[in-house]
């Protein structure tokens, strides 16, 4: 039984050894080692689904509206039939209930995976969503800037297409898994992913921003990056701050000429990059951005 569960959780990015006592499978609280699926599950066979990585802080789901707006918009793109009970309110309650069950309501990383059930490639049993909620304890419920800058480089073995599905947080995660393996093999903290035009669209687990002459640039969604919720939060917050931000395209050369680089995602908030290849970067302006946006987040 354990190998089947382990394979399923690996496919969806869940660390089997990090699981706490319980998970939520289709609304039912189960022991983490419970058998969940069989080999005909479309999520397992084809990566047919989506996921959200959510931070819970003091029994609150951070950026909840952004997460659920993205999830339900993505489900429409993937032609899921959404039942009446499958709502942001219901999912929020189940997330917080599981956090409480696992004693992680103060600070948790929550992974909500939504996938189609059994069926072959042309004959899905139905288009209703099935789901798994898993929690992992975090040390801090606040956003804390990294003390040491990240070491990064390019992952060149695969590219992202700029199509209808490129902005989705999809269970089709192969390019990121391979990029993470590449990063580990080369003692890197992260790698930058290229699109089919050879431009940088994102990193393995984050959206990318650069600073040049006190102007901030980030790849537009048309460049193929995932529509990150923290990316959206930062962009919308800049409308209230004395910073100038532009959504554009980023070539490798543009990255090399940047003054500073930082990454964002929903769990760590924001991290500064110290090195890209052999090029070193400062982070004084990035520090000011972090203080402005996240000190009260």
What band does 295 get if pLDDT is binned at 50, 70 and 90?
confident
Asked, for residue 102, whether it belongs to a domain, the answer is yes
User: What is the dihedral sign for C-alpha 209, 212, 214, 219?
Assistant: negative
Q: How confident is the model at residue 195 (pLDDT cuts 50, 70, 90)?
A: very high
Domain count, the chain: 2
What is the rounded CA–CA span in Å between residue 65 and residue 50?
Answer: 17
Return the CATH number at 271: 3.20.10.10
| Percentage of the residues of the chain whose pLDDT score is greater than 70 | 93
Residues 168 and 287 in one domain: yes
Confidence of residue 296 (pLDDT cuts 50, 70, 90): low
Residues 61 and 182 in one domain: no
Residue 213 region by backbone torsions, left for phi larger than 0, else alpha for psi between -120 and 50, else beta: left
200 contact partners, CB below 8 Å, separation of at least 6: 154, 192, 193, 194, 208, 219, 250, 251, 252, 255
Please report whether residue 144 resides in a domain.
Answer: no
Q: Write the pLDDT tens digit of every residue in 115-163.
A: 999 999 999 999 999 999 999 999 989 999 999 999 999 999 999 999 9
Query: Is residue 73 domain-resident?
Result: yes
End position of a domain, from candidates 83, 109, 137: 137
What are the DSSP calls for the chain, one per residue?
Answer: -HHHHHHHHHHTT--GGG--SEEEETTEEEETTS----TTBHHHHH--EEEEEEEEETTEETTHHHHHHHHHHHHHHTT----TT--HHHHHHHHHHHHHHTT-SSEEEEEEEEEE-BB-SS-BS---EEEEEEEEE-S-SS----SSPEEEEEEEEEEE--STTTTS-BS--HHHHHHHHHHHHTT-SEEEEEETTS-EEEESSSEEEEEETTEEEEE-GGGT----HHHHHHHHHHTTTT-EEEEE-B-HHHHHT-SEEEEEETTTEEEEEEEETTEE---HHHHHHHHHHHTT-
Give yes or no: residues 157 and 284 share one domain.
yes
Same domain for 70 and 162, yes or no, is: no
Q: Which of 137, 171, 203 is the last residue of a domain?
A: 137
Whether 112 and 215 map to the same domain: the answer is no
Q: Which residues contact 75 (CB under 8 A, 6 or more apart)?
A: 50, 82, 114, 129
What is the separation of C-alpha 138 from the centre of its chain, rounded to a whole number of angstroms? Answer: 16
How far, in Å, are 146, 193, 273 from residue 78 at the CA level?
36, 23, 34
Task: Examine residue 198 and state whether it is found in any structural domain, yes or no.
Answer: yes
Last residue of a domain, one of 75, 107, 137: 137
Same domain, 127 and 81: yes
Same domain, 40 and 174: no
193 phi, psi to nearest 5 deg: -95, 135
> Tens digits of per-residue pLDDT, 61-81?
999 999 999 999 999 999 999
Mean pLDDT in residue range 48-70: 98
Give domain status of residue 145, yes or no: no
Asked whether residue 32 falls in the same domain as residue 104, the answer is: yes
Place 38 in a pLDDT band, splitting at 50, 70 and 90: confident
Is residue 17 pLDDT above 70, yes or no? no
Range of the domain at 97: 2-137
Residues 133, 154 within the same domain: no
Q: What is the mean pLDDT of the chain?
A: 92
Q: CATH number for the domain including 69?
A: 3.30.470.10
Q: If pLDDT is split at 50, 70 and 90, which confidence band does 21 have?
A: confident
Closest CA to 30 of 134, 171, 110, 128: 134
Same domain? For 48 and 133 the reply is yes
pLDDT tens, position by position, 220-261: 999 999 999 999 999 999 877 777 999 999 999 999 999 999
279 part of a folded domain: yes
Domain annotation covers residue 142: no
Cα separation, 221 vs 231, whole angstroms: 10
pTM: 0.90
95 lies in the same domain as 198: no
Chain segment 85-97, per-residue pLDDT in tens: 999 999 999 999 9
Q: How confident is the model at residue 13 (pLDDT cuts 50, 70, 90)?
A: very low
In a domain, 143, yes or no: no
* Same domain assignment for residues 288 and 196: yes
Burial of 111 (0-12, 13-18, 19+ CB in 10 A): buried
Q: Give the pLDDT mean for 190-196.
A: 98
């Amino acid at each position: 039984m354990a190998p089947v569960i382990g394979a399923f959780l690996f496919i969806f990015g869940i660390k089997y050894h990090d699981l706490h006592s319980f998970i939520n499978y289709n609304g039912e609280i189960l022991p983490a080692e419970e058998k969940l699926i069989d080999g005909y599950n479309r999520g397992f066979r084809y990566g047919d689904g989506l996921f959200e990585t959510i931070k819970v802080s003091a029994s609150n789901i951070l950026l909840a509206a952004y997460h659920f707006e993205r999830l339900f918009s993505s489900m429409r793109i993937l032609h899921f039939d959404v039942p009446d009970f499958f709502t942001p309110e219901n999912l929020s309650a189940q997330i917080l209930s599981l956090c409480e069950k696992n004693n992680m309501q103060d600070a948790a990383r929550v992974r909500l995976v939504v996938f189609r059930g059994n069926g072959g490639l042309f004959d899905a049993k139905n288009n209703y969503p099935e789901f798994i909620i898993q929690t992992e304890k975090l040390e801090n419920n606040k956003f804390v800037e990294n003390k040491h800058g990240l070491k990064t480089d390019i992952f060149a073995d695969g590219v992202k297409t700029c199509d209808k599905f490129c902005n989705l947080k999809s269970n089709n995660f192969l390019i990121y898994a391979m990029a993470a393996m590449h990063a580990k093999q080369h003692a890197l903290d992260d790698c930058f992913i290229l699109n089919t035009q050879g431009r940088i669209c994102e990193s393995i687990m984050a959206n990318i921003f650069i600073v040049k002459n006190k102007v901030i640039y980030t790849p537009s969604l048309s460049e193929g990056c995932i529509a990150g919720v923290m990316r959206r939060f930062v962009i919308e917050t800049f409308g209230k701050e004395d910073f100038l931000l532009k959504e554009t395209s980023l070539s490798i050369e543009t990255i090399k000429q940047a003054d500073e680089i930082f990454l964002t995602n929903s769990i760590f908030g924001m991290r500064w990059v110290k090195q890209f290849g052999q090029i070193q970067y400062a982070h004084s302006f990035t520090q000011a951005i972090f203080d402005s946006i996240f000190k009260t987040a």
